[in-house]
Amino acid sequence: MTGAGAVRALGALVTAPSPSDGSEFNSVTVSPGLPGFFAMFVLAVLVVLLAVDMTRRTRRVQARARVEERKDAERDAAQEREHAEEDAPGDEPEERPEADHGPGEGDAPPQEGRD
């Protein structure tokens, strides 16, 4: 068989009418039937399970983020307390600058010429 003969045989197969009983399509012959129902039911169950799993994972990620934020806030607060304790005078006496007194306030002015 040559290439041309193969093309003619293929063309005859493609154009041959498909086996049918000659009746028109109706809802019974076109419906997917019981196997189609089971396939769609399994797909629907899988979609619901995937949605539930996705929701659980999303909540878990959000909960971890909240815990991390809380830990960071506690760590920052502890660092601020440490800095406040370092800056605040503890047992050490506080140094006070000498106050400038104007005339008539505080001690008497020094007298000159006394020796």
Predicted confidence (pLDDT) per residue in 50-100, tens digit: 999 999 999 999 999 999 999 999 999 999 998 888 876 655 555 556 655
Query: Where in the chain are the domains?
Result: 41-86
CA distance 54 to 46: 12
Enter the pTM of the model: 0.44
